[in-house]
Amino acid sequence: MKKKRPPKSAALARIDAAARPTLKRAARMQTFAGVLWPAQAAAAAWSLKEWVDGTYTWLWFAAAVFVVVGILRAVLMHRSGAILFDTADRVIAEERQALLAREIKRTEQAASSAEIAALVAQKLSVLTPYLTQFQPVMARVRVIPLLLAGLTFYFSWAAGLALLIAGPLVPVFMAIIGIRAQKASEKQMVEIGDMNRLLIDRLSALADIRLLDATERAEADFENRAEGLRARTMAVLRVAFLSSTALELFASVGIATIAIFVGFSLLGEIGWGAWQSGLSFYEGVFILLLAPEYFQPLRDMATAWHDRAGALSVAAELDKLEAMEGDEVPGHGDKVAPLAGRASVATLGALVSRGGKPVTLPDFEMQPGEAIALCGDSGAGKSTCLMALAGLVPVKGGEITVAGAALTEGTADAWRARVALIPQLVHMPDVSLRDFLSPDGTGDIPAALKLARAEGIVAALPEGLATRLGETGAGVSGGEARRLLIARAILRGADVVLADEPTADLDAATGADVVAALRGLADAGASVLVASHDPAVIAAMDRSVFVEGAA
C-alpha cells in the first residue's frame, strides 16, 4: 500500500523546531524513567523468590530498592513535566505574539476578529498536549517496548514472541477504528459549529423572539439541536471507547497469556519456550512484571493520538492565515511627534491596492483651511482614497506628499499623529466616553464638544462623560457617534480631517449638524476632505475632487 503523506504544515514544522532542544531533554528523562522499570521488577521478583525460598537475606534491601527506584521514576516524570510545560508555554506565547503582530498590521483583515481571538485565546492552547504528551510518548514508544521485549526474549523466546505479536496489533487496530472515528468526529464538529451559530443568532435576537411570543418555538428548535449534538457526540465516543477497549483487551490478554505460560513452565507442563536452562521462578515473575509496562507506552500513544489530530488542525489554520497575502499598514503604530510642516496634501499618480485590485487616486492638492468634497460613484474607491491619505495603506506607485514630505513607511506614524478619520461605521472601544475623547486626559473636553456640536449628546447620557460605550456605540446614534469623533479630533489637535459619508443614514437636521461641525474645523484652519455623494455636503464644501474609479 502506497501511502501519500500530506505535506508537513509549515507552522507545525516551525513549532516542532522551536520546541525540539528542550523537548528532547524531557523525552530522554521520561524514556529513562521507563527504562528503570526492569530494576523495580527485578527487585520485586527477587523479593518473591526469597519468600518462596524461605531465605530473607536480601528481602528488605529488595523492597527498599523497589520503593527508591519507584520514587526516582516519579521524580523524573515530575521534572520532565516541568520542562515540557515550560517548552509548550514558551512556544505558544511566541506563536501568539507573532500572530497578533502580523494580523494587526494587515491593511485588510485575513480572518474575522472573532476567529483571530479564538485562535489566540483558545485554539493555540491545543498545542500544549501535543507538545507535553504526544511528543514524549512518541519518544518512549520507540525505546521502551523494544527494550522490554528484548529482556523478555533473553529469558524466554515464547513470551517475547507473544509480546512482539500482540504489540503491533495495537496500532493496526487503532488505525482501522481510527478511520471511522475520524468520520464520526467530523460530523460532530459540523454539528457543534451549527449549534453555536444557531445559539449566537438566537441569543442576539432573544428580546425580539420574546416580544413576538416565539420563545417556545425557539426553545424547541434549540432543544432538538442540543439533542442532535448529544447523539453525534455519543457516536464519536462509542467508536473511541471501542478502540480503547480493544487496546486494553490486547494488553490484558497478552499479560494473561504470559502469566499462564510462566505458571505452566514452572509446573513443568510446558517444556518449551525458554532457553536450555528452563525458566526459573525469579525469571518468570520478572517477565510477568515487564508485560504491563510493555503495553503502557502503546496505550499512551493511542490516547495521545487525539492531541496530534488537534495540533494538526490548529496548524492548518495557522498555515492558512499565514499564506494569505496582503499589504501591511506602513509604520509601527507607535505614538510619535507629529510630522512638522503645513497640513497640506498633494497626490501625483498615486496608486494603492484594495481587495487585490489597483485603485488610482485622483491628482489634487489640499491646503490648510480648505474643505474639499471627494465625489464618485459607489465602489469607485472614495473610502480607499481616504485610507491612503490617512497613511493606512501603502502607496504602490506615484506619490502622496504630506506636509511637504513623501508619505512612506518612515513618515506614516508621524503623519497619522496629525490625521483624524471619521469612518462610516464607528467602532467604539469598551472605555468610558471621557477616555475615548481624550486618552491622555488632557484638553478642554467641554469646549471641544461645543465646537463639534456634541455637548447635547453628552448631557443626555445618563452618566455623562463616565458612560461606557459599547462595541457599536450603544447609547448614541450614528450621527451622534460621528460628532463625538469630531470632538475627539479637535481634542487631539488633528489638523487633517478625513470623513467618510458623514451624513449616511441621517435625517436632514442631524446631517446638517455634522456638516456644520466639519465646516467649522476647516474655518479654524484644518484641511478637511469629505467623501460623499450627498448634494448638501458637496454644496457646503469649497470645491470637489472626483474619483474616477478602477485603474
Q: Which of residues 207-226 bind other proteins (CB under 8 A)?
A: 207-215, 217-219, 222-223, 226
Cell 528484548 belongs to: 150
493 touching other proteins, by CB under 8 A: no
CB of 532 to other proteins, least distance (A): 16
From 19, 392, 526, 530, residue interacting with other proteins (rule: CB under 8 A): 392
Interface stretch with other proteins, choices 168-176, 308-316, 332-340, 529-537 (CB under 8 A)? 332-340
Mask 347-386, x = binds other proteins (CB under 8 A)? Answer: ----------------------------------------
Helix or strand run (H / E) with residue 148: helix 135-155
For residues 543 and 369, is the Cβ–Cβ distance under 8 A? Answer: no
Q: What angle do CA 92, 94, 98 make, to 5 degrees?
A: 120
Cα 15 from Cα 128, distance rounded (Å): 11
Rg (alpha carbons) of the chain, rounded to whole number? 35
Mask 502-521, x = binds other proteins (CB under 8 A)? Answer: ---x-xxx------------
Query: Is 215 or 442 the residue whose CB approaches other proteins more closely?
Result: 215
Contacts (CB under 8 A) with other proteins, residues 225-284: 226-227, 229-230, 233-234, 237-238, 241-242, 245-246, 248-249, 252-253, 255-256, 259-260, 262-264, 266-269, 281, 284
Mask 395-434, x = binds other proteins (CB under 8 A)? Answer: ------------------x--xx-xxx-x---x-xx----
168 touching other proteins, by CB under 8 A: no
442 touching other proteins, by CB under 8 A: no
Q: Dihedral through CA 395, CA 426, CA 519, CA 334, nearest 10?
A: -50
Q: What distance, in Å, lies between the first and last C-alpha atoms of the chain?
A: 54
From 12, 26, 62, 402, residue interacting with other proteins (rule: CB under 8 A): 62
Query: Is 36 or 538 the residue whose CB approaches other proteins more closely?
Result: 36
CB of 1 to other proteins, least distance (A): 29
From the CB of residue 64, how many other CB atoms can be counted at a distance below 10 Å? 12
Interface stretch with other proteins, choices 50-58, 173-181, 369-377, 521-529 (CB under 8 A)? 50-58
Cα 164 from Cα 161, distance rounded (Å): 5
Cα 362 from Cα 529, distance rounded (Å): 13
CB of 141 to other proteins, least distance (A): 19
Cell matching residue 536: 448638501
CB of 361 to other proteins, least distance (A): 18
Cα 368 from Cα 524, distance rounded (Å): 9
Contacts (CB under 8 A) with other proteins, residues 106-125: 109, 113-114, 116-118, 120-122
φ and ψ at residue 422, rounded to 5 degrees: -110, 100
Question: Burial level of 230, CB count in 10 A (0-12/13-18/19+)?
Answer: exposed
C-alpha distances in Å from residue 315, one per residue of 94, 307, 309: 14, 12, 10
334 touching other proteins, by CB under 8 A: yes
Query: Is 1 or 172 the residue whose CB approaches other proteins more closely?
Result: 172
Query: Is 89 or 327 the residue whose CB approaches other proteins more closely?
Result: 89
CB of 257 to other proteins, least distance (A): 9
Cα 178 from Cα 233, distance rounded (Å): 15
From 67, 165, 324, 536, residue interacting with other proteins (rule: CB under 8 A): 67
Alpha carbon 258 to its chain's center: 48
CB of 127 to other proteins, least distance (A): 13
443 touching other proteins, by CB under 8 A: no
Cell 495540533 belongs to: 311
For residues 84 and 26, is the Cβ–Cβ distance under 8 A? Answer: yes
From the CB of residue 270, how many other CB atoms can be counted at a distance below 10 Å? 17
Mask 181-200, x = binds other proteins (CB under 8 A)? Answer: --------------xxxxxx
For residues 243-253, one letter each, b for 16 or more C-beta atoms within 10 angstroms of the residue's C-beta and e for the rest, the string is: beebbeebbee
Query: Is 142 or 332 the residue whose CB approaches other proteins more closely?
Result: 332
Contacts (CB under 8 A) with other proteins, residues 29-48: 43-44, 47-48
Query: Is 236 or 374 the residue whose CB approaches other proteins more closely?
Result: 236
51 touching other proteins, by CB under 8 A: yes
Cα 457 from Cα 237, distance rounded (Å): 56
Query: Is 51 or 154 the residue whose CB approaches other proteins more closely?
Result: 51
Cell matching residue 102: 502580523
Cell 487633517 belongs to: 496
